[in-house]
A and B are shown apart, each in its own frame.
Chain A
Amino acid sequence: MRGLVKGGVDDVRAVSRGWRWGRRSLVPRSAEPHSLPKESPVFPTAWSRRRPAKAVREVVQQAGLRPLFRSQVSPHVEGLDMLGRVKPPVLFVANHASHLDTPLILLSLPNEWRRITTVAAAADYFFDTWWRAVGSALVFNTFPIERRGGSLASTPGDVLNEGWNLVVYPEGTRSVDGWVGSFRMGAAWLAVEHQVPIVPVAHRGTFAAMPRGQGWPSPGRKPVTVRFGPPLRPTEGESAREFAPRVRDAVASLLDEDRSTWWEARRRAAADAVPDPSGPDVAAWRRVWAQTESPRPVSGMPRRRAWRRR
């Protein structure tokens, strides 16, 4: 009998380890070309934008997420004044390098904006199991978008039409080396189709604090910065194909501004010399190496101290 129990325990242990219980399952590398694309179940998320869920989210974000986030990283926010120039709904379009990006952007927003902002999240990643779907929809107000095509309960257009702001990462996935990838046209298309402005958002330091593959931020409260730029609107007759590069340029300019100053970035933009956000064409390790460096604390920014120095 003892042997039977031990055999059972050993089996459960082997399965929990082999099939990574509690973590995302992995496909052996050589099997990846032979794997079927994951079919994401359709998760309705309308409930997460109703009053009870909003109330719960407010408590979770303010009492749980915000202090936790601040305990792990040291955020610095600039450009919120830009929000005074637009009215909801807007599209927040940002570069994407880490799972920290979403809480960084959401928690940087003024409360009245944050409460009406949703996040477009990959259906095949955040909505592949019910508990992950419920968790992310409740805490971050995410709703699923299909990266590979498929059926959805709500479309981004529906959400915008309901008056919600939308955070979109046009790269479609987190950067593998911290540099900015190519932008897909979904965000620009939404802006053109629904005639909503795009607020470009650029952040730095999230890759250094918690890159792809890491489940928790690195110790040491690494600095992260986020900068909101002036809203962009598609001009009369401008197509999504024409608008999308303008959005990427705006994000690139914001990143440049974050590294230097607004004036220097402006001058470089005027001279068409904005540094390419996709980074230099050098060895992969050098690209990663450059991005593992956290942004320097902005000069003049007062460091918070527990005890005032004499």
Chain B
Amino acid sequence: MSRPGFVLEVDDRTPPLVVHEGEGFRLEEFPLGTQVVYPPESLPAMSDVDEAIQHALLHPEGSDPLPSLLRSGMRLTIAFDDISIPLPPMRKPDIRQRIIEAVLTMAADAGVDDVELISANALHRRLTNAELKDIVGERVFRSFHPQGLLYNHDAEDRGNLLHVGMTDQDEDVEINRRAAESDLLIYVNVNLVAMDGGHKSVPIGLASYKSLRHHHNSKTMVRSHSFMDMEKSHLHHSAWRMGRMLADHLKIFTIETTLNNDVFPKPYDFLLKREWEWGVKDQASMLAVRRGLALAPDKLRHKMFHDLRAPYGVTGVHAGETEAVHAKTLANVHRQQMVEVQGQSDVLVLGVPYLGPYNVNSVMNPILATCMGLGYYFNSYRGQPVVRRGGAVILYHPVKPDFNQLHHPSYVDFYEEVLAESTDPAVIEAKHEEAYATDPWYVHLYRTSHAYHGVHPFYMWYWAAHAMDHVEEVVWVGGDRRAVGRMGFRAASTLADALEMVSGTVGSSPSITYLRNPPHLIADVH
């Protein structure tokens, strides 16, 4: 039996609490009265995942069973979420592998010859062969990859994109040609957080820049309150318009999955427990890990974290018509992540961990840290933001100005040139986005190397636009002063210093809320 999430009020009995900060964590003593939002405990995992997959495919929502949709001579395309989810990557076998194997078994039985598999990475970097293999498994990889039938989506391959049409709001819908011209497109998703899935899968995962720019812009992001709440997210409204149009154009069979909150494997599982419930073993593990991290050189520390594989349990598999499936998926996500919070606070505290969607097997640079903190974590609410308008956000992360040149080449220029000029999302969008999006060198690296698209750092900045618009102050505890200053924020050494720095805005005894994630949570703020 897993306990629901709840809001702790820090009192004299509260031990120091874990706060993630990049490749490490600290124990923080919060001021008395601080509200700490704890996510629900991990839901029980399905005991027989393969059985659940079979059931979902044979009894889909709002669709005929999958075997009846498969026939000899058809063009079948299977698209799947890329490496950006789940976080951390899950232990093998990946749920996508299990589903794709089940789908391919049915396709083989039906005599389908023309099958292609596409990693729906939109403007994300191309996955390496090893990363593709990790997701789909050895059997699928060996059967399709050598023939070139398992590949990454290329949003810059003009010959392999199809402009399907315009929505009623004049938004271009342009996606992967193979997918658009298939008799059946099957999309396999991992719905890690509430913003994933639904019509965000095909119209975004398989889209081109021309299509993405309609919703990935500062105006849409500022008006999405929040993008974890699809009802109030302009990003999702746009994706839904595109998805409905695509659904009229081609047959899409969506398969969505949800995971529980088992994010950290042993011996890091103490990070999932509520601190006052730590036993002697948990305390010893924590001390050992802290000392190990302090002793380890940077490379080893990086490896310790990035080699983590989450022992996720699967909590749901649903298949069929996209919207019917997504309603069930969202209910599962909410069951695992939703916590009721009463009222807004003056200060929101967030610990930014080592990993976000765009630095798997890579480095979390300052822009990605901002996206993770002010983008994803800030937006982890429903109703209204956890912090009041004009309040302050305090984030924990080292914010080192380290960049992975292979994965994030345009980020370096964005950091050095664009942010040096302005940090206003609307200004940089108007002035610089087009040039970065169409730069031939960045396009070349995106298509042939493993680089994120030239426009990607802009999108990261837009994710944070709502937070930047909403709050008055942003302070990074433990952040590199130069890097933080470059992004227009301030750095502090300790929480006490940070609170002192924001006291001019929120007063000397502000109400404080700390979101204790990971694992993921959504604050349902009343």
- A interface residues (Cβ-Cβ under 8 A, vs B): 4, 7-8, 11-12, 14-15, 18-19, 25-31, 34-36
Number of interface residues of B (CB under 8 A): 26
A26–B3 contact, CB under 8 A? no
In the complex, which of the residues B14, B277, B286, B294 contacts A4, with contact meaning CB atoms closer than 8 Å? B294
B290–A11 contact, CB under 8 A? yes
Residue of B whose beta carbon sits closest to that of A3: B294
CA distance A303 to B405 in the complex (A): 88
Scan residues 1-29 of chain B and give those whose CB is less than 8 A from a CB of chain A.
3-4, 6-11, 13-16, 27, 29
CB distance from B64 to the nearest CB of A (A): 45
Check: B295 CB closer than 8 A to any chain A CB.
yes
Residue of A whose beta carbon sits closest to that of B9: A30
A35–B287 contact, CB under 8 A? no
A29–B13 contact, CB under 8 A? yes
In the complex, which of the residues B6, B7, B8, B16 contacts A14, with contact meaning CB atoms closer than 8 Å? B16
13 further interface pairs, Cβ-Cβ under 8 Å (given A14-B27, A19-B276): A4-B291, A4-B294, A8-B291, A15-B287, A18-B275, A25-B276, A28-B276, A30-B7, A31-B6, A31-B8, A31-B274, A31-B276, A34-B6
A-B residue pairs, 7 tightest by C-beta: A18-B15, A26-B13, A30-B9, A28-B14, A18-B16, A34-B6, A28-B13
CA distance A27 to B29 in the complex (A): 15
* Given A26-B13, A30-B8, A15 and B276 contact (CB-CB distance below 8 Å): no
In the complex, which of the residues A12, A31, A34, A36 contacts B287, with contact meaning CB atoms closer than 8 Å? A12
Which residues does chain B contribute within 8 Å of A4, judged by CB atoms?
A: 291, 294-295
Which residues does chain A contribute within 8 Å of B277, judged by CB atoms?
A: 27, 35
Which residues does chain A contribute within 8 Å of B11, judged by CB atoms?
A: 28-30
CA distance A14 to B275 in the complex (A): 13
A36–B3 contact, CB under 8 A? yes
CA distance A90 to B11 in the complex (A): 45
Which residues does chain A contribute within 8 Å of B3, judged by CB atoms?
A: 34, 36
CB distance from A34 to the nearest CB of B (A): 5
CA distance A106 to B278 in the complex (A): 36
A26–B287 contact, CB under 8 A? no
Which residues does chain B contribute within 8 Å of A18, judged by CB atoms?
A: 15-16, 27, 29, 275
Which residues does chain A contribute within 8 Å of B13, judged by CB atoms?
A: 26-29
B10–A28 contact, CB under 8 A? yes
* Given A34-B3, A36-B3, A15 and B286 contact (CB-CB distance below 8 Å): yes
CA distance A27 to B13 in the complex (A): 6
CB distance from A15 to the nearest CB of B (A): 5
Check: B283 CB closer than 8 A to any chain A CB.
yes
Residue of A whose beta carbon sits closest to that of B28: A14
Which residues does chain A contribute within 8 Å of B15, judged by CB atoms?
A: 18-19
Which residues does chain A contribute within 8 Å of B275, judged by CB atoms?
A: 18
A15–B294 contact, CB under 8 A? no
CA distance A29 to B277 in the complex (A): 13
Which residues does chain A contribute within 8 Å of B14, judged by CB atoms?
A: 28
Which residues does chain B contribute within 8 Å of A29, judged by CB atoms?
A: 9, 11, 13
CA distance A26 to B277 in the complex (A): 9
CA distance A25 to B278 in the complex (A): 10
